[in-house]
Amino acid sequence: MTRLTLSKALNEGLRKALENDPKVLIMGEDVGKLGGVFRVTDGLQKDFGEARVVDTPLAESGIIGTAIGLALRGYRPVCEIQFDGFVFPAFDQITTQLAKMRYRSRGLLGLPVVVRIPCGGGIGAVEHHSESPEALFTHTAGLRVVACGDPADAYAMIQLSVSSDDPVIFFEPKRRYWDRADVDTSGDLSSALPLDRARTVASGTDVTVLCYGPMVKTCAAAALAAENEGRSLEVIDLRSLSPLDTETIVESVRRTGRCVIAHEAPVTGGLGAEIAARITEECFYQLEAPVLRVGGFSTPYPPSKLEEHYLPDLDRVLDAVDRTFGY
């Protein structure tokens, strides 16, 4: 076990991926000498060279478009989009090309491309640096969309994503980059939880709390606080946002009868809406209360002085938990 930050855990995972497969490439803005603005690729260009760790022109559409070409030629590009709000020039390539290639080639062409996106708020940044655009990608069939929540998972999930034969949109919670935890970097990943499975972070009996990415830590803390008030929360880190691990979700909600979904993204049209609909379909007779969502307001992301209001925190999660007992 090594104590690593989430950023360093991703770095170690990428290093492993580069070592294990000579076809793996890293591409992005400032990923070389600088090691990325969050240092996730720190030292990789030095050790693997400029042909494998590529500082690209400032052109996100170009990053994904050329990654698609490289993948068609047999490479496995791992692309970094510097900030969530900068992914949109690449949105066309991701949604019209990357997501659909397997389908339109009738299975002949897979695109093993990973698109890493630092996501979410809470770092006091200016506009376009705090967004949570995951629902735009989960709404796009053909993409795997995942979010890591802690260092150990980040280490495993990035490697599983690189070895996936499907395109993966990989969200990294930027306000958790400097959180530390023990990570086992010794063995292989044969015993790791598969990429498409959710993980129960805390077992409980009263309410199921679903979360991912930056909210995993918040919800785990909420479970501890609730315990002091005599309420038992089951916290599930979804990990895979698309496809969803419906089995794990449904099994839990059928037991607890109550569910709260927390994400930073706006509640309106967000991933929580999709999950709530599925739960309603699958658990209708077990539900004691409507599925409640906690998330961003139906507004653009506000100036950073207001982000503590916008971002759901422990109190807002517990407030929703309380409300599920009001029915």
Partner 1 sequence: MTVKDAGRAASADSLPLGGQPESAEFIQLLTPEGERVDHPDYPLEISAEEIRALYRDLVLVRRIDFEAIALQRQGELGIWASLLGQEAAQVGSGRALEPSDMAFPTYREHGVAWCRGLDPTKLLELFRGVSHGGWDPRAHNFHLYTIVIGSQTLHATGYAMGIQRDGAVGEDGEAVIAYFGDGATSQGDVNEAFIWASVTNAPVVFFCQNNQWAISEPLERQSRVPLYRRAQGFGFPGVRVDGNDVLACLAVTRKAMQAAREGQGPTLIEAFTYRMGAHTTTDDPTRYRLAAELETWKLKDPIERVKAYLVRNELADEKFFTDLDAESGQIGARIRKACQEMPDPNPLSIFDNVYAEPDALLESEREQYAAYLETFEEAVR
Q: Which of 128, 129, 139, 309 is catalytic?
A: 129
Distance CA 40, CA 79 (A): 12
91 or 286: whose CB is closer to partner 1?
91
Report which of 288, 202, 211, 286 is spatially closest to residue 250, judged by C-alpha positions.
Answer: 286
Tell me the per-residue interface mask from 76 to 115 with partner 1, x by CB under 8 A, - otherwise: ---------xx-xx--------------------------
Sheet of 24-28: strands edge to edge? Answer: 53-55, 24-28, 76-80, 114-119, 168-173, 144-147, 240-242
Segment near partner 1 (CB under 8 A), from 180-188, 189-197, 257-265, 309-317?
Answer: 309-317
User: Exactly one of 30, 196, 274, 282 binds partner 1 (CB under 8 A); which one?
Assistant: 30
> Can residue 312 be called a binding residue for partner 1 (CB under 8 A)?
no
User: Exactly one of 58, 72, 224, 277 binds partner 1 (CB under 8 A); which one?
Assistant: 58
50 or 165: whose CB is closer to partner 1?
50
Residue 128 designated active-site: no
**Window 279 to 298, contacts with partner 1 (CB under 8 A):** 297-298
Helix axes 215-228, 314-324, angle to 10 degrees: 60
User: Exactly one of 166, 310, 311, 312 binds partner 1 (CB under 8 A); which one?
Assistant: 310
**Window 126 to 145, contacts with partner 1 (CB under 8 A):** 126-129
Q: Tell me whether strands 180-183 and 207-211 are parallel, antiparallel or unpaired.
A: unpaired
Report which of 96, 24, 21, 103 is spatially closest to residue 64, judged by C-alpha positions.
Answer: 96
Distance CA 118, CA 172 (A): 5
> Can residue 322 be called a binding residue for partner 1 (CB under 8 A)?
no
User: Exactly one of 22, 46, 47, 50 binds partner 1 (CB under 8 A); which one?
Assistant: 50
Q: Write down the least CB distance from residue 233 to partner 1, Å.
A: 20
User: Exactly one of 55, 196, 251, 313 binds partner 1 (CB under 8 A); which one?
Assistant: 55
- Contact of 202 with 235, CB cutoff 8 Å: yes
120 or 204: whose CB is closer to partner 1?
120
DSSP-derived secondary structure for 31-67:
-SSS--TT-TTTTHHHHH-TTTEEE--S-HHHHHHHH
Distance CA 11, CA 155 (A): 8
In three-state secondary structure terms, 147 is strand
Q: Write down the least CB distance from residue 34 to partner 1, Å.
A: 4
> Can residue 124 be called a binding residue for partner 1 (CB under 8 A)?
yes
Question: How many Å from the N-terminal Cα to the C-terminal Cα in the chain?
Answer: 45
Q: Tell me which residues touch partner 1 (CB under 8 A).
A: 29-30, 32-35, 37, 50-51, 55-59, 61-62, 85-86, 88-89, 124-129, 268, 297-300, 302-307, 309-310, 315-316, 319
Catalytic residues, by residue number, are: 129
